[in-house]
Amino acid sequence: MKKSWTAGAAFLALLGAAGGGAQADPAVSPVQMSQVGFETQGPKTATVPDTSPRPLPWRITDTAGKVVAQGQSKVFGPDAASGHSVHIVDFQSLQTDGQNYRLTVGNHESRPFSILQRPHAALKYDALAYFYQNRAGVPILASHVSRPDLTRAAGHPHEVAACFSGADTAGVIWPGCDYTLDVTGGWYDAGDHGKYVVNGGVSVWMLLNAYERAAALKSPGAAAFADGKVNIPEAGNGVNDLLDEARYEIEFLLKMQVPDGVKLTLPVGTQTPGQPLNLVEVDAGGMVHHKVHDAQWTAIPMAPADDPQPRLLYPPSTAATLNLAAVGAQCARIWREIDPAFARQCLTASQRAFRAALRNRDVRAGEHFAGGGAYGDQDFSDEFYWATAELLATTGNPAYLTALKTSPYFLGGPLSGKSATGDPAWARTAALGSLTLATVPGALSPGDLVTVRANIVAAARSYVQEGYGQGYGLPFAGTDYDWGSNGALMNRAVILASAFDYTGDWNYRNAVIWVLDYLLGRNPLDRSYVTGYGDRPVLNPHHRFWAHQADPAYPLAPAGALSGGPNNRAMSDDVAKNLSGRCAPQTCWADDINAYALNEVAINWNAPLVWVAAFIDDR
């Protein structure tokens, strides 16, 4: 896939690193802005750390040195999230395409930047390529990657896993099960080799929702991932390539379902901290195993094909079961005309899972297993709402609508009072249900459709207001940056973009650009958090194969992977611990492979990046 790179420095750093040479990080710019460029008619904003209490004069010069725009900065002043006192420059009035513009603010000068009709055109494809390159079970082939060093042998090509049995790290004895499941395939979740249903579910949903959104709007973007547009093995099969990539994970999720008639001993109900888990035998048929991963954490670096650890299925949970119920229903309606047999398989699995969740409404995930993440959850009301909404949108069965109306989240948006869903996340999935109800034609009555869209728009309006109060324009007013803050911002951008779809109000689309600008360089670290994009891109994400920092024999990451980003709340790795208490919230980050709490990459962060990049280039 051809890249529209704008920064030669990043490319030279990449080449130097690939050859084993030392990397010289370009100097931090005193003018912080998107390092990818600006849309011709879109917003154009930069932030400049400066303590002057008075506006600073600014000017933009073109390649010939001619002044093409000028004005006065806005004094923002102290900005708690960044730890800086800043000025803001708005140069949206400059709407002439060009390269090598420079912005000078007072005595601060920017790097060269560009103004283009479609500066983000390649991003959706590179962000989607993340998923192919993290496939389990198949080799990653030279014909489908941008560099030869990114090829690798198949990881876990015949993954027949038994259930975990014995003592976990807290001493709880798990009896296991008397069957194995072939769970070959799917995506590796993040920097490790685990595959997690609760994260796979929300990631698949996001990709499929991008498809449903474009189809419902009949927008030009509906053809962005048409068959043959994406460089994956399935290209040319007559099916949209975005759907092909999503199907690779869906087929894995289907394999994680417990056979009918199986009884398992599982933790049911509220558990007392510090006390042994309350394990109860239940009818687990139709439930879904929470995850499959190694018995112990593997070392860095480690190609998946070299993983020496045994692979194990971990006990099913209500959350994982409802993820399959939701995604299976979504799959069924999308593939109904494309592949009826697959659609029926998805719907059957969805309904089996939903019935199993109704029987086992409060089965918690065990959180003391080595070798993988916990992804624990204590409240499944949001997953029930999401799954019920998906089943209603697929089947039209009024019984699902009746059930939905009993949910505290019915027609809620992220901030809508008692029905507030919260922002989308793997542990807060109610917003996904509302987005589906607001997107799929005929899912709701006209009156209910107006209500759910209004609640989503209300949240977006609040996010826009938050952005006006931030020195870096970020539609997030807090100073608590959690693990995966960049992914959380992408999910807010999905809400903002949806509000634009419903209203046509460009303030919402502009706020999506603010988020992209932040991720691509308009931040206090002057860092692009997307690999391969910008003058100072992430080079060393926490990943066992893209591990050049740990061993030069391993590759740098490909373009399009989103770093988890600043985290001042769960600073658990050694790199983060060294920063704790010494960094402003937006600066608690490091480009280090060992900084898993700050610089990991993951499917649930890259999926909304695909969604947003497709939205912003939808024209």
Among residues 39, 189, 423, 600, which one is catalytic? 600
Token code pair at residue 477: 């007013």
Among residues 126, 189, 192, 592, which one is catalytic? 192
Q: How far apart are CA 349 and CA 556, in angstroms?
A: 39
Cα 164–chain centre separation: 29
Bridging pattern class, strands 74-79 and 84-90: antiparallel
Distances (CA, A) of 416 to 202, 431, 455: 22, 11, 6
- In degrees and rounded to multiples of 5, residue 366 shows phi and psi of -65, 135
CA 477-483-489 angle, 5° bins: 45
573 is known as an active-site residue: no
| Backbone CA torsion sign across 407, 413, 418, 422 | positive
Token code pair at residue 394: 């697929």
591 is known as an active-site residue: yes
- Secondary structure of 316-384 as H, E, C letters: EEHHHHHHHHHHHHHHHHHCCCCCHHHHHHHHHHHHHHHHHHHHCCCECCCCCCCCCCCCCCCCCHHHH
339 is known as an active-site residue: no
DSSP 508: H
Among residues 542, 543, 592, 618, which one is catalytic? 542
Among residues 591, 592, 617, 618, which one is catalytic? 591
DSSP 425: B
Which strands sit side by side in the sheet containing 74-79, from one edge to the other? 45-49, 84-90, 74-79
Does residue 293 sit in helix, strand or coil? strand
Contact 601, 541 (CB under 8 A): yes
600 is known as an active-site residue: yes
Contact 114, 37 (CB under 8 A): yes
Catalytic residue annotation? 192, 542, 591, 600
